[in-house]
Amino acid sequence: MVHGGPTTRSCPPPGPQPGPPEPAEPWLGPLLAMLVVQTAVSFLSRIPPTLAPTLAPRVGWPAESVGYLSSLITGGSIVVLLLAAPLQRRAGSMRTLQIGVALGVVGTLLSALPSGLALVTGSLLIGLAIGPPSTAGMDVLQRYAPLSHRNLLFSVKQAGVPLGGVAAGLLLPGAVQGLGLEGAFVAAAALGAAAMWLVQPWRERVDALRDRSLRLHWQQFGSIDAVRRPLAVLAAMPAMRRMGVAGACLATGQSAWFAFLVTYLVSRLGWSLVAAGALFALMQMLSALGRPLAGFLSDRLGDGVRVLRWMAAGSAATTLAFAFCTPAWPAWMVVALAVLAGLTVASWNGIQFAEVARLAPRDSLGEAMSGATLLLLAAYVAAPVLFGLVLAAGGGYRLAFVLIAGLTGAALWPLRSRTAN
């Protein structure tokens, strides 16, 4: 038998080729990319609260001033939510996320300088990195996540927030001891840069529908409409407003725990920075497990609002108990409260985001998510400032945590019925 000549193979067309091969589940790649970005920006944002006992005195500030830095970081994310929609339409959601991480890397390097002004500027830039995962990241999952698993997948993506906290709590105190404060900041910035590179293979696939014809100019980013439209979309939907109010109440407790836990343990309970960082990491680790579990439970019950009610009650009770900690308490009791906080205070976000995304109109998803998230972020700004003002006025940590517990429990009011109805 005579065989024919060598088999010819078709050559791929010239030009850039698509990213990695399509997985069996088309949502898997985008989900992993969102998880990487969310973890990276969360890690960068946890640097000030994790290192506050060392960082603040270096620039002549009290350690409790970390609350103001946390508010500055959140303020930067609000700017992105209000003004970055044109960039997201032109460059695509993935590129917008990468640009955000790049700004966070620059902010981290600035924060390494022994200057209060550099620390403030760096915190604002890190805040610009936090904003895109709330809009661009949610846009990606809204397009790829199947309805039957949406709460779970949104919660997995949101698990990147505590995973970044775990990394910060475990790595940063030791990095300061081994590399010095400046070296720790440089190492953190390198990890952020690595995240930008890791998600690049999915960029072309995820951003295939970007509007290449859109011409960007500075007026688009500073226009009144860029600010008005997200708020107008929010105002037109009472159900989304109620979900936003509930998220804002829950955010007060979460921001207080995240901003002040390490400082409280070190300055008031006498823990070492390494031990306090380890407990912070434990709380975040349990949140990384609790968020997907809460999302799975919501999908099984078909009622995310009911699960949010349970978590609101647990968050308020845990925060109230934490208000009465003293140096005389055995360590295991403090650890137990941190465990409960990880499963309640720090684990509701994925469900709340999934409910907001379910309510959002598909033709204006980015603006709707921005408007709804503004309420949540406003609480992230206000709560650490309020906490810090209570401390500055001499009210002490107990009064501050009692106040935060009451604000957290107020989430039960808008969640008293199925908010989506």
pLDDT score for 27: 67
99: pLDDT confidence band, cut at 50, 70 and 90? confident
Q: Would you say 202 and 143 are in contact if contact means Cβ atoms under 8 Å apart? A: no
User: 199 pLDDT exceeds 80?
Assistant: no
pLDDT of residue 33: 79
The pLDDT value recorded for residue 91 is 66
- For the stretch 331-334, contacts whose Cβ atoms lie closer than 8 Å and that sit 24 or more positions apart, written own/partner, are 334/265, 334/269, 334/279
Is residue 316 a contact partner of residue 409, using CB atoms and an 8 Å limit? yes
Crossing angle for the helix pair 304-322 and 349-359, to the nearest 10 degrees? 140
3-state helix, strand, coil in the chain (%, to 5): 80, 0, 20
Q: Is 188:44 a contact under the CB 8 Å cutoff? A: yes
Q: What is the pTM of this model?
A: 0.76
Q: Which ranges of 199-237 does DSSP label H, i.e. alpha helix?
A: 203-206, 218-222, 224-235
Q: Tell me what pLDDT residue 21 has.
A: 47
| Range of 14-18, 164-168, 373-377, 408-412 with top mean pLDDT | 408-412
Q: Are 87 and 297 in contact (CB under 8 A)?
A: no
Q: Are the C-beta atoms of 135 and 84 separated by less than 8 Å?
A: yes
Q: Mind listing the pLDDT tens digit for each residue in 261-318?
A: 999 999 889 999 899 999 999 998 898 888 888 888 888 888 888 999 999 999 999 9
pLDDT band at 128 (very low <50, low <70, confident <90, very high): confident
What pLDDT is attached to residue 331?
A: 94
Helix residue ranges, H only, 59-149: 66-83, 85-91, 93-111, 116-144
pLDDT band at residue 195, thresholds of 50, 70 and 90?
Answer: confident
Predicted pLDDT at 257: 95
CA 86 to each of CA 90, 226, 355: distance values in angstroms, whole numbers, following the listed order: 6, 8, 25
pLDDT of res. 136: 67
Task: Look over the chain and give the mean of its residue pLDDT values, rounded to a whole number.
Answer: 81
Residue type, 103: L
Structure tokens at 194: 């690595």
* pLDDT score of 196: 81
Q: What would the CATH number be for the domain defined by 28-208+226-412?
A: 1.20.1250.20
- The pLDDT tens digits for 350-378 are 888 788 777 777 776 667 777 777 788 88
